[in-house]
Structure 1
C-alpha cells in the first residue's frame, strides 16, 4: 500500500536555508497534460511514482495551484512573460494568423536570470516559437536549447528531427514509425490491436529497429549534460518534457505489461507517467553526482489540467470530461483541458528549496504566473513592476512580507471566462451569460452555484471579467462570433500575414491537415 506524508505545521525553520543560499541553481520540471491524480503522492493507486513522491516529501505543496491557461502554448507564454492570458502575447494555441511566436521584447524571466549571471537552458518542448521566428529560445533569454520548437512538433515521441541551438539533429531511424495511426487510436473500436506494438515483456517492438530513437531518452541525456557543464556556476534548467501528452506511446509498459484487461490508452498513459518519474530520478541523481543538489531549487508543475479523454455532452447538453475508468486520474474538478473551469486550470505544483528536509502544505491559491517573480528574486534580480504574478517566497518559508491572498487570477478560452479571487471562483460561458459563483474549498466539483446567495460577489467578479481582457487583433476575444474570427483569418490571408509553420515533413501529413 502506498502512503502519503502528513505535512507538519508550516514553519520557516524547515526551509531556513532558502534565502541564505546566494543565487541557487533552479531546476524547473514542467510536465505536459499531467492529470491531477497521475502521481501516487496525489492519489494514484495503479502504479507508483517513487522519485516524484520523494520530492513531494521534501517540498512545499500548493494544494490550490492554477496554471495560466488551459492549453499548451498560452500556458507557456504566460509563464515565461509573467502576464495573464488576457494581456499576454500568446492567448490560445493558434491565432487567426497561425502559431504565434513570442514577440521580440517579451522580457522573459530567462532574460532576467541571464542578467543576474545565470546560465539558462531549456530542454524538451518549447512551444512558443519555431525556426527563424522571434520566439526561438535563444532569442528569449536562453543560452542553450535542445528539443522541439513548436508545440505541434512535440506530438511525436519518435520525431524525424530535433533542434539543438541553431542546429537541426536528424533522426532518420524514426522515419518508419507509424505516427499517423496513433491519432486514430481514441476513435478506433479495436484498440486491442495497438497493444500488439508491445512484446510479451511490455517493450515497444519498434525500438528494436536500428537507429530508432525515443525522444525522452535524448532529453534526459541533454539535461544531464547541461547540469554537468554548468555545475560551477548558477544555472537555470527548464526541463519541459512532453510526457505524458498524447498520442499515447511509450518505450515500455512497465507496471501495465500484464494488465491486458485494461484499455491500451490507459496502460500507455500510466507507463508514460512512470517514464516521467524516471526522468525526474535521473535529474536528481545528476544533481547529486555533480555536487549541485544542495544548492538547487526544484520546481514541479503541469502545464494544464486533465486531457486524457475528450469532452462529451450529458443529457442536458453540457460538456463534461469523463474520468478514465481504469486510472481514475482526473481529480474532483469540473471540466478539463481547453476549458477554463477548475478541471482545466488546477494542476499539481510543488517546490523544494535548498536544505528542505520535510514537507509543507500551503492552501493559499497561487498560479504559475507567480514563478516569474519568484525566479527573479531567487537570482537576486529586480522584479519588473508590470507582472501579474507575485513572488512566492513568503509562502516558501523564508522571505519577509505578507502575501496577497485576495488577488484575482484571470482565465479565458474563446468566449469562456473565469476568475479565481480569494475563496471565490467565478465562471461564465460567454460575456453575455450569467456568472456562476463557487467556493472550491468546500465544493471542489463546483456543483453548487452560489451567485444567488452572494449577489455582491457575483457583481464584483462580473465587473472584473468585463474589464480585465485586452482585445487582440488576431486571437478570438470573448464575445466574438465564429464569423468574426473567420473574418480575421481572411484578413490575415489577404494582407499576407499568415504565419508559416515550420514542421518536420511527417507533420505535413497529419489527419487534420487533409482538406
Structure 2
C-alpha cells in the first residue's frame, strides 16, 4: 500500500509539473508572437504627388494628412500600380505589377471591348489576411468587378463591402444606387445630373466608422477607397466657404459626362479638404477606441492628378514632376505616401526606399505573420516601417506598362535611372538624381544603361490576350 501511494504521488507530481511546463511553454509562445496590427489603407482617387502639404502643397488645407506625416513616415520614392485607377487597384490588391496582373488597363481598353476583372485565381491581400484571422472590409471604390462576377469583393476575400463595383457609377457623387455586399441599394432622392440627394462621400465615411466600431476588438483590415477628388468635381457649398474669399482666379468647368460645379479651384480644394477632415475623424475614432497604437494607417493615391492644367498650373499638383494621369512619367505614377503607426514607426521620419503598390500585399502578410500564397512581384517594406532598413530587401527594378491613346508605353525605374519607351520609338533615359522632371533624355550619352533598362522593358511581362502591346482604339461596352 505504501509503495502504491509513493508511486501514485510521484506520478501525480510528474503530471502537475508537466502541466505547468506545458502551460508555461504555451504562455511564452503567445508572448513571443507579435500582436497583429489593424491595417487601414486609405486611397485617394486622382490626387497628385504635389497635392499634399508634406510634399509642398500650400494652397489646399489638409491638417490631418499633414499630421500623419509629422507623426509617421513619408516615402519619397513610392509608386502606384498604374497611371489609371483600374489596373492600379488590381496591382495593390494582388501584389503583381502590370506585366503580370490580370487587369492591365481600364475597362474600355481591352482588345475585345469586354471589361476584364480580377478572377477566381487571383489571390488578394484580403484573402491572405483572412488566413491570419483578420476581418476584412472594402468601403468606397472597388472598380474591379465590371462584370459583377468573380471580381466581386465578397468573392475576393472581403467580409464587408459598401461602394462601387464598377467605374462609371463611381464617377458621380450623387449616384442612384450603391452596393452593400451583394445587394444593390437605391439611394432615395439621388440624381447625378441635378446633384440632389445624399453626397456619397459622407455615406462612405459613415460606413467606415461603423465597420471600425464593429470590428476593432479583433484584427481588421479596412481598405478605404475614396472617390475624392476624381472627376466629377462637386461638393456642398458649405465645404467651399474656407476658399471663397482668398481671391483665387476662377477656372470655369464645363459640364459634360461629368456634372462639374461651375468653378474648379475652390471645388477641387474643398473636396480634398473634406477628405482630410474625415480622415481626422477616423483618427479620432481610433484614439477614442484605444486602438491607435495597434493600427497601421497608410495614405496614398491611386495615380497622378487629372485636374491641374499642366499649361497653367495653379495647385502645382505634380510637384516637380513631368506629366500627370495617363503618363508613365513621374507625374503619372509617383504617388504621395505616408505610413503612421505610433511607437512602431518613428515620428517625423522619411525614407527614400524604392517601393510600389505591389509591395503592399507582402508587407501586410509580413505584419500578420504569414507568407504570401502566390508568386508575386512585391517585396515587404515592413523592415523600413519598423526602422530596420539594414534588413530591407530591395527591388532590382520596377516595371509598368500602359496602353490607351498614347500607348503602348512601358517604363522601368532602377535606382535613380528611369527609362520610358513609347511604341516604335527609341527608349528614353533619365537620371532622376539630377533630373526629377525628366527633361533631359540622356539615352545617347549612356547607351549601355539604356540597353540594360530596355532589356527589362522587353522581358518583364507575360502575354495577355486582352492587353497586347499594340496600338488600341477605345471600345464601347454596356456595364
Scaled by the length of structure 2, what TM-score is found?
0.85
Structure 2 counterpart of 1:339: 327
Mapped pair 1:394 → 2:393: no
Task: Write the mapping of 1:22-41 to structure 2, written as runs, cut at 5 A.
Answer: 22-41=35-54
* Contact 2:379–2:395 (Cα < 8 Å) also in 1: no
Partner SS, residue 283 of structure 1: helix
TM-superposed deviation, 1:406:
4.7
Hey, what's the Cα distance between the residues in 2 that align with 1:401 and 1:257? 49
Mapped pair 1:446 → 2:433: no
Structure 1 counterpart of 2:471: 481
Structure 1 counterpart of 2:411: 418
TM-superposed deviation, 1:98:
2.7
* Contact 1:146–1:162 (Cα < 8 Å) also in 2: yes
Mapped pair 1:370 → 2:362: no
1:245-282 deviations in Å (ceiling 9; x for gaps): 01100122142223463322121111111011012111
Mapped pair 1:178 → 2:193: yes
Mapped pair 1:157 → 2:173: yes
Structure 2 counterpart of 1:198: none
1:161-203 deviations in Å (ceiling 9; x for gaps): 111112222112112x426xxxxxxxxxxxxxxxxxxxxxxxx
Equivalent residue for 1:328, pick from 309, 316, 326: 316
TM-superposed deviation, 1:343:
1.1
Scaled by the length of structure 1, what TM-score is found?
0.79
Structure 2, gaps ≥5 residues long: 1-31, 252-262
Structure 1 counterpart of 2:203: 218
TM-superposed deviation, 1:236:
0.4
Mapped pair 1:71 → 2:84: yes
TM-superposed deviation, 1:405:
3.6
* Contact 2:346–2:387 (Cα < 8 Å) also in 1: no
TM-superposed deviation, 1:97:
3.3
Hey, what's the Cα distance between the residues in 2 that align with 1:460 and 1:384? 31
* Contact 1:31–1:244 (Cα < 8 Å) also in 2: yes
Residues 446, 257 of structure 1: alpha-carbon distance in 2 compared, 3 angstrom cutoff: same
Partner SS, residue 297 of structure 1: strand
Task: Write the mapping of 1:31-430 to structure 2, written as runs, cut at 5 A.
Answer: 31-94=44-107, 95=110, 96-130=112-146, 132-175=148-191, 177-178=192-193, 212-251=197-236, 252-258=239-245, 259=247, 261-263=249-251, 264-309=263-308, 322=310, 325-355=313-343, 356=345, 358-384=347-373, 386-398=375-387, 402-414=391-403, 415-430=408-423
Hey, what's the Cα distance between the residues in 2 that align with 1:376 and 1:405? 17
* Contact 2:362–2:379 (Cα < 8 Å) also in 1: yes
TM-superposed deviation, 1:413:
1.2
Q: Which has the larger displacement, 397-406 or 68-77?
A: 397-406
Partner SS, residue 282 of structure 1: helix
Task: Write the mapping of 1:492-511 to structure 2, written as runs, cut at 5 A.
Answer: 501=479
TM-superposed deviation, 1:308:
1.2
Q: How many residues align?
A: 426
Runs of 4+ residues over 4 Å off in structure 1:
398-401
Residues 25, 406 of structure 1: alpha-carbon distance in 2 compared, 3 angstrom cutoff: closer
Hey, what's the Cα distance between the residues in 1 that align with 2:445 and 2:248? 50
